[in-house]
Amino acid sequence: MARSTQAAGVRDLRVCFFFNAQRHQLLHGISTAVALARRPGFEVSVMSPARDHIRYAQLLAGRLGGAPIHYVRPRSALLEAARWITGGQVPPKLLTLARFARQLGRFDAIALPERTSIILKSAGLRGPSFIHLDHGAGDRAAGFDPRIRHFDFVLMAGDKHRRRMLREGLIREGAHAVVGYPKFEAADAARTAGWAPFPGDTRPIVLYNPHFAALGSWHRFGPAVVEAFARQDSYNLILAPHVRLFDTKQARTKWQALFDAHRDNPRILIDTGSDRSIDMSYTDIADIYLGDVSSQVYEFLRRPRPCLFLDAHGVDWQGDENYAHWRFGPVIRDAGKIIEAVDAARARHPDFRAAQIQGFAETFDDPAQNASERAAEAIAGHVTARTDRTRA
Q: CA–CA separation, 5 vs 3, rounded Å?
A: 6
Specify the pLDDT at position 392.
Answer: 60
Specify the pLDDT at position 355.
Answer: 98
Write the DSSP assignment of 216-268 as a string of letters: -SHHHHHHHHHHHHHT-SS-EEEE---TTTT-SHHHHHHHHHHHHHHTT-TTE
Contact of 306 with 329, CB cutoff 8 Å: yes
Angle at 278 between CA 312 and CA 91, to 5 degrees: 90
Does the model's pTM come out above 0.85?
A: yes
Q: Is 281 buried (19+), middle (13-18) or exposed (0-12) by CB count in 10 A? A: buried
CA 377 from chain centre, in angstroms, equals 21
Contact of 156 with 132, CB cutoff 8 Å: no
**Dihedrals phi, psi of 359, to nearest 5 degrees:** -65, -40
Tell me which residue of 226, 217, 203, 213 sits closest to 309, measured CA to CA: 217
Specify the pLDDT at position 2.
Answer: 42
Q: What is the mean pLDDT of each run of 10 residues along the chain (392 residues)?
A: 51 95 92 98 95 94 97 81 76 83 94 94 91 91 92 96 96 96 97 94 98 94 97 97 88 93 96 94 98 96 98 96 97 97 98 98 90 98 90 64
Specify the pLDDT at position 122.
Answer: 85
Coil, helix or strand for 207?
Answer: strand
Specify the pLDDT at position 172.
Answer: 95
Specify the pLDDT at position 83.
Answer: 76
